[in-house]
């Protein structure tokens, strides 16, 4: 059994993503596997999951939609679209103000934009969110959720910056034209900020900004880690850069043969356990995507080995 065989034998959701991203196959949208289980938990009367819009984490409507987007659900699926209605009404009203003079957190605004752009929504709120994000960038080219509550904040947070970059990429990918040139310029600056930190280091040392950033989690929720940022750089077709090397080496050192571990588990409520085995199927797929793009010789060696025992 090769690692590709192993991935194809997993849940239908993971099988489909493997065929798309590693085998370059064109596969129709599916609503079975993990996607089907999540859809079955939708409360059609309340139009939400987990009886909440943003909380409780991680079973709320917001974070369930994030997971469905990671699984690459059909963006036009009526339940996904109904969930978008719920978060737009509950998380973005009054031009992003949720109380007088206090805006929605920047990372939440970015996630809303990401979800809506993925769903190809034609909604005037989208332009408002784009304005809000572009108008509150830090001087270093990043974004920070503390921009409003702490006026001394002048540098970007990697967590928030990556959420913004993912959202902006989704608008470009789905042909939103509003402030497109501004978005593209902002994306270049944001990517440079992350690369200038070797994707995980502080500005003044070679130490990790936080140890958890060096270990992948799936689902990543709102949190930053180096596998998530490398997967984003693949999405935007960013060329190999020596400032990625340390992060790739760190991840490769965590592999057990061709497998990646499940990674750190972010505490909170879950709908159900995604993976029961010893290894992380989703993290393995994601890491193979990284190696396929940036370390092709290593990738070919891993996928052609037929000595997997699990």
What integer pLDDT is reported at residue 276 of this predicted model? Answer: 80
Digit-coded pLDDT (tens) for 209-258? 999 999 999 999 999 999 999 999 999 999 999 999 999 999 999 999 99
Q: For position 202, what pLDDT does the model report?
A: 94
pLDDT, tens digit, 9 for 90 and up, residues 181-201? 999 999 999 999 999 999 999
At residue 85, the pLDDT reads: 98
Residue 100 has pLDDT above 80, yes or no: no
> Does the reported pTM lie above 0.85?
yes
Phi, psi of 256 (to 5 degrees): -110, 90
Average pLDDT, the chain: 95
As a whole number of angstroms, the distance between CA 198 and CA 20 comes to 29
Taking the C-alpha atoms of residue 189 and residue 195, their distance in angstroms, rounded to an integer, is 10
pLDDT value of residue 263? 83
Query: What is d(CA 53, CA 12) in angstroms, rounded to the nearest whole number?
Result: 28
CATH topology of domain 32-250: Glycosyltransferase (1.50.10)
Alpha-carbon distance of 180 to 159, in angstroms, equals 23
Residue 98 is predicted with a pLDDT of 80
Residue 289: Cβ within 10 Å count? 20
Alpha carbon of residue 240 to chain centroid: 20
At residue 259, φ and ψ (nearest 5 deg) are -95, 145
Q: Work out the angle at residue 116's Cα, subtended by the Cα atoms of residues 113 and 134, and round it to the nearest 5 degrees.
A: 20
What's the pLDDT score for residue 307?
Answer: 63
Cis amide bond preceding 241, omega within 30: no
pLDDT level of residue 4 (50, 70, 90 thresholds): very high
Residue-range domain boundaries for the chain: 32-250
Handedness of CA 70, 71, 75, 78 (dihedral sign): negative
Q: How far apart are CA 286 and CA 283, in angstroms?
A: 5
How many residues would you count in the chain? 310
Question: Residue 298, exposed/middle/buried by CB under 10 A (0-12, 13-18, 19+)?
Answer: middle
210: helix, strand or coil: coil
Q: How far apart are CA 249 and CA 199, in angstroms?
A: 12
pLDDT in tens, 125-163: 999 999 999 999 999 999 999 998 888 888 999 999 999
Is pLDDT above 60 for 32? yes
Q: Of 164, 159, 158, nearest to 134 (Cα)?
A: 164
Mean pLDDT within 275-289? 93
Could you report the per-residue pLDDT of 109-128, keeping only the tens digit for each? 999 999 999 999 999 999 99
pLDDT of 310 > 80? The answer is no
What confidence score (pLDDT) does residue 150 get? Answer: 86
């Amino acid at each position: 059994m090769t690692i590709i065989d192993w991935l194809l034998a997993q849940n239908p959701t993971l099988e489909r993503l493997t065929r798309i991203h590693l085998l370059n196959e064109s596969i129709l949208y599916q609503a079975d596997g993990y996607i089907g289980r999540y859809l079955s938990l939708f409360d059609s009367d309340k139009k939400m999951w987990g009886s909440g819009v943003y909380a409780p984490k991680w079973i709320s409507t917001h974070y369930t939609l994030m997971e469905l987007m990671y699984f690459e659900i059909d963006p036009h699926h009526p339940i996904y679209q109904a969930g978008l209605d719920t978060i737009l009404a509950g998380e973005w009203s009054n031009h992003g103000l949720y109380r007088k003079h206090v805006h929605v957190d920047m990372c939440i605004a970015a996630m809303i934009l990401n979800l809506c752009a993925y769903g190809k929504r034609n909604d005037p709120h989208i332009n408002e969110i784009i304005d809000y994000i572009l108008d509150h960038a830090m001087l270093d080219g990043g974004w920070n959720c503390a921009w409003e509550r702490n006026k001394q904040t002048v540098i970007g947070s990697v967590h928030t910056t990556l959420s913004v970059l993912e959202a902006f990429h989704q608008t470009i990918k789905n042909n939103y034209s509003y402030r497109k040139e501004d978005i593209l310029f902002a994306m270049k600056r944001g990517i440079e900020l992350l690369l200038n930190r070797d994707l995980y280091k502080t500005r003044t040392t070679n130490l990790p900004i936080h140890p958890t950033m060096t270990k992948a989690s799936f689902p990543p929720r709102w949190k930053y880690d180096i596998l998530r940022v490398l997967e984003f750089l693949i999405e935007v077709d960013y060329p190999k850069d020596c400032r990625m090397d340390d992060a790739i080496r760190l991840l490769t050192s965590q592999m057990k043969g061709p497998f990646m571990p499940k990674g750190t588990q972010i505490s909170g409520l879950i709908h159900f356990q995604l993976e029961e085995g010893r290894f992380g199927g989703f993290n393995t797929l994601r890491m193979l995507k990284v190696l396929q793009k940036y370390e092709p010789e290593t990738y070919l060696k891993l996928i052609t080995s037929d000595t997997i025992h699990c």
